[in-house]
Amino acid sequence: MTEDSRLTSLAASLPASVPFVGPEAQERARNAPFIARLGANESGFGPSPQAVAAMQAAATDAWKYGDPECHDLRHALAAHHGIDAAHIMVGEGIDGLLGLLARLTLTAGDSVVTSAGAYPTFNYHAAGFGAHIHTVPYAGDFEDPDRLIAKAKETGAKLIYFSNPDNPMGSWHGAVTVADMITHVPEGSLLVLDEAYSDLAPDTAIPPLDPENPNVIRMRTFSKGYGLAGIRVGYAIGPKPLINAFNKVRNHFGISRISQAGALAALQDQAWLDHVRQEVDAARTRLAGIAIRHKLTPLPSATNFVTIDCGHDGNHARALLQGLIERGIFVRMPFVAPQDRCIRVSAGPPEELDAFERALSDIL
């Protein structure tokens, strides 16, 4: 196919790609549905019934644009976290917020730093604005805060991407380590602290909020613990000038009335979030047991998935992954060696974990 000559030189140089091949595309390719959807770290335990009811009620007003200021949701989040609403920006999931942040801070030739094999959507957005992406290796199965900071100093990076808890390994650093990392961010850099799994992590992993700190922007989501991945609502917490800058570039009508209503009701139903935490904990325990019974090694997890060390190299893990997909089990795996020796399995309801165990037994 001939490239459209109207594209910018930067756009023409980029691959037309999707960072993740969705389960729907895989189902179309295999001409059959999956019987267990355990690959995207969605919550198979579902959203709060109160959130469902709120979205159903809001659907009758779907002819109206959503509030472009997300006023009620932002102020509810502010009250929940005990901070000023001016420190919060709501966006189309963390992915959407990452794209806006890249647009605000990066021009062609700027440098960013991330871990090799970390969440790839950050790289997708950074490359989209012409940034040079510098990576550091994991330290074992953990992102390495010291190396990330050192590489940022070496390259003059504008952005440093760091997720805690980590995707795809499920590992986490304690709050003291993260807080120390924030204090060592070099001048001119900004730490992008992705806390997508913070609702499922131990309290000891999450440092207290300090939204005035100019060194860090923290990003959270309703996609994981709250079970609302399909409505695309995330939020950033940061210093007021940076948060206000999002108003320069964001899609002001990007969060629908239905999405705002669902997220607000979910936030107000903390009892459901506690229920999901219990379900996730039970599923992680079950997945660890399945791995051990099959002589595989489950890694400790502070997320809603368990990463399982398959004991060999990436080719072995990919073969195992393909075998699971052929048997109707949707899972994913890390992209980069040596983490690609693993597969990553989302916490899910018991019947889906039953199907995963049957398929795994059949393959092995």
pLDDT tens digits for 75-130?
Answer: 999 999 999 999 999 999 999 999 999 999 999 999 999 999 999 999 999 999 99
pLDDT at 2 over 80: no
pLDDT at 148 over 70: yes
pLDDT at 215 over 70: yes
- Count how many domains the chain has: 2
Average pLDDT over residues 167-192: 98
Q: Do 324 and 259 lie in a common domain?
A: no
pLDDT given for residue 265 in this prediction? 98
Q: Do 193 and 332 lie in a common domain?
A: no
307 Cα distance to chain centroid: 15
Q: Do 73 and 193 lie in a common domain?
A: yes
CATH code for the domain of 28: 3.90.1150.10
Q: How far is CA 110 from CA 106, 163, 189, 352, in A?
A: 6, 21, 11, 44
pLDDT given for residue 9 in this prediction? 93
pLDDT at 42 over 90: yes
Kindly state whether residue 219 falls inside one of the protein's structural domains.
Answer: yes
Kindly state whether residue 221 falls inside one of the protein's structural domains.
Answer: yes
Distance separating alpha carbons of residues 159 and 71, to the nearest angstrom: 28
pLDDT at 3 over 80: no
SS3 category, 343: strand
Average pLDDT over residues 314-324: 97
pLDDT at 336 over 80: yes
Kindly state whether residue 189 falls inside one of the protein's structural domains.
Answer: yes
pLDDT given for residue 1 in this prediction? 59
Q: Do 178 and 263 lie in a common domain?
A: yes
CATH code for the domain of 114: 3.40.640.10
Angle 314-326/23-30 helices, nearest 10 degrees?
Answer: 70
Which of 229, 247, 269 finishes a domain? 269
Q: Are 306 and 2 in contact (CB under 8 A)?
A: no
Kindly state whether residue 214 falls inside one of the protein's structural domains.
Answer: yes
Contacting residues for 18 by C-beta, under 8 A, at least 6 apart = none
Domain around 245? 62-269
Which of 238, 269, 300 finishes a domain? 269
Q: Do 14 and 116 lie in a common domain?
A: no
Q: How far is CA 289 from CA 248, 295, 356, 357, in A?
A: 49, 10, 12, 10
Distance separating alpha carbons of residues 348 and 359, to the nearest angstrom: 15
Kindly state whether residue 238 falls inside one of the protein's structural domains.
Answer: yes
Q: What is the pLDDT of residues 267-307, one digit of tens each?
A: 999 999 999 999 999 999 999 999 999 999 999 999 999 99
Q: Do 38 and 66 lie in a common domain?
A: no
Residue 224 pLDDT grade (very low, low, confident, very high; cuts 50, 70, 90): very high
Residue of 230, 153, 223, 235 whose CA lies nearest to 188: 153
Q: What is the pLDDT of residues 257-267, one digit of tens each?
A: 999 999 999 99
pLDDT given for residue 4 in this prediction? 85
Q: Do 76 and 220 lie in a common domain?
A: yes
Q: Do 99 and 220 lie in a common domain?
A: yes
291-311 in b/e burial notation, b at 16+ Cβ within 10 A? beeeebebbebbbbbbbbbbe
Kindly state whether residue 57 falls inside one of the protein's structural domains.
Answer: no
Q: Do 147 and 256 lie in a common domain?
A: yes
Contacting residues for 154 by C-beta, under 8 A, at least 6 apart = none
- Within 13 A of 153's CA, how many CA atoms are on the CB side? 10
pLDDT at 19 over 80: no
Q: Do 125 and 152 lie in a common domain?
A: yes
Average pLDDT over residues 332-350: 97
Which of 269, 285, 301 finishes a domain? 269
Distance separating alpha carbons of residues 83 and 141, to the nearest angstrom: 33
Q: What is the pLDDT of residues 185-197, one digit of tens each?
A: 999 999 999 999 9
Q: List the structure tokens of 234.
A: 């995330």
Average pLDDT over residues 33-49: 97
Q: How far is CA 347 from CA 78, 160, 287, 314, in A?
A: 29, 29, 8, 22
Q: Do 188 and 283 lie in a common domain?
A: no
Q: Do 105 and 189 lie in a common domain?
A: yes
Kindly state whether residue 52 falls inside one of the protein's structural domains.
Answer: no
**Mean model confidence pLDDT for the chain:** 97
Kindly state whether residue 3 falls inside one of the protein's structural domains.
Answer: no
